[in-house]
Amino acid sequence: MYKYKFELDSKEIAYYWDYDMDCVYDRKLKQTFKSIPNPEIGEKFATIRYNSSDTSLTVKYLYPEWVKQINNSAKDIDTLFPTHLKYQSKW
């Protein structure tokens, strides 16, 4: 589990980078890449918006190249940082 500070306003949730980690498996979120901007602790990392038309969430990352690199390195899961989340009922 990773915990992030966030702010909520009427249109979106903004969350701020940190890697307060409480888990067994390290996802290498402290990793940096020389040729691209890397997230800094305390800086805004992403915004999340609710789409009322289809009840989904859209995530916009402020470090998209870093997110892409981390997602590509997470071979044992589909995506560590998704850009779209949709509710699907089991019923």
**Does residue 22 sit within a domain?**
yes
- Residue numbers of the chain with a pLDDT score lower than 70: 1, 19-27, 75-78, 90-91
- Whether residue 69 contacts residue 36, with contact meaning beta carbons closer than 8 Å, is answered with yes
Q: By residue range, what is the domain housing residue 44? A: 2-86
Residue 34 has a pLDDT of: 92
**Does residue 76 sit within a domain?**
yes
**Does residue 30 sit within a domain?**
yes
Tokens for 25, please give them.
């498996």
**Does residue 74 sit within a domain?**
yes
Residue 24 has a pLDDT of: 66
**Does residue 70 sit within a domain?**
yes
Residue 60 has a pLDDT of: 96
Residue 90 has a pLDDT of: 67
Residue 42 has a pLDDT of: 92
CA nearest 40: which of 7, 9, 24, 18? 18
d(CA 18, CA 47): 15
